[in-house]
Amino acid sequence: MNTQFNQSLAGTERKYVVGQVKANGPILHIQIGGPEYNRPYGAAFDVPVGPALSTFLQNQTNLVKSLASYKKNYMTAQFDSAGGDIVKLQIKGTVGNRDYGFTSTIEDDTLASYLRQVTTQTVVKAVGTVAPMWDNDDDQDYDDQDDDDNENTNDDTAEELVGALQESLNSIQQLLNTANEELAQLKSKVV
């Protein structure tokens, strides 16, 4: 399973990792689909949260089935590493503390590290899959067939590649920004 990304619900260019959440009192259970980490479907984390988020989640009706079991319902959520141990959380739902639903920050070093890891792996995979498209292999046969369906497919593929490259560049920029923030924090501690 590949990690999925969404645009920020706040309307910024920032990309968020898609996951699911369920409140168990003061503990938020998080499930993220992707490469196996600590669960067959990807990753799961339990983090403490405040009562405002727990209450917001209890009052939501836009639920999806759990990645682990079809017997439990979760809310779709999205996450982004905000530097250090801090994770930004966004949930689309009824109006909470935002027009689109709810946002919060979570402090958890394991979750933040995981998010940085899957973001980095996704960028590397995207660049790795796109790069061979520009390989100028002279031994390759090219079909110059004038087929409208092939042209449309090639146009769609080119648009998808451009979109993937742009997403990769955005993710790389986010990683650089996070690294610069962490470097600045380390420098301030040294001085």
User: How many CB atoms within 10 Å of residue 143?
Assistant: 6
How would you label 153-190 residue by residue, b for 16+ Cβ within 10 Å and e otherwise?
eeeeeeeeeeeeeebbebbbebeeebeeeeeeeeeeee
Lookup: tokens for 148: 């409208």
Report pTM. Answer: 0.63
Burial class (CB in 10 A: 0-12, 13-18, 19+), 56: buried
Q: Which residues are bridge partners to 112 per DSSP?
A: none
Q: Is the pLDDT of residue 132 over 50?
A: no
Residue 162, pLDDT score: 64
Confidence of residue 147 (pLDDT cuts 50, 70, 90): very low
User: Is the model more confident about 139 or about 120?
Assistant: 120
Cα distances (Å, whole numbers) of residue 23 to 32, 56, 169: 15, 9, 34
Look at 181 and 19; give whichever has higher pLDDT.
19
pLDDT digits (tens, 9 = 90+) for 59-105: 888 788 999 988 888 999 999 988 889 999 999 988 889 999 999 99
More confident residue, 175 or 146: 175
Determine the Cα–Cα distance for residues 76 and 108; give it in Å rounded to an integer: 19
